[in-house]
Amino acid sequence: MKVTPTTKKFGKYQPGDEFELPDKAARIFIHVGKLREVGELGYQTRMMQARDVAQVETLSYSVSELAAPFGYKSDGTPRKRPGRPAVNA
């Protein structure tokens, strides 16, 4: 299993160095907190990028995509999603 030290030097390896260790020994050191698995990541953020204006203008939507997913009320306004609290206006 590929592992890396968490905070301190582990033998000749510094934190960030990847090395192979037998699975059984690696699990013990991971449980103790000395090592962590290389494939294991903490929180991961996505790369968010805005679309080009040219791409947005060329998108075409069908009527079914723009229609209210839960239908319309008798006065023509779209229905709210079920389970949401009522809006007191």
More confident residue, 13 or 76: 13
pLDDT, tens digit, for every residue of 13-58? 998 888 999 999 999 999 999 998 887 555 555 666 666 666 555 5
- Amino acid 65: pLDDT: 55
pLDDT at residue 75 greater than cutoff 80: yes
State how beta strands 2-5 and 19-20 pair: antiparallel
What's residue 53's pLDDT? 60
- Please state, in angstroms and rounded to a whole number, the distance separating the CA atoms of residues 78 and 67: 9
Q: State the Cα–Cα distance between residues 47 and 6, nearest whole angstrom.
A: 26
What pLDDT, on the 0 to 100 scale, is given for residue 74? 82
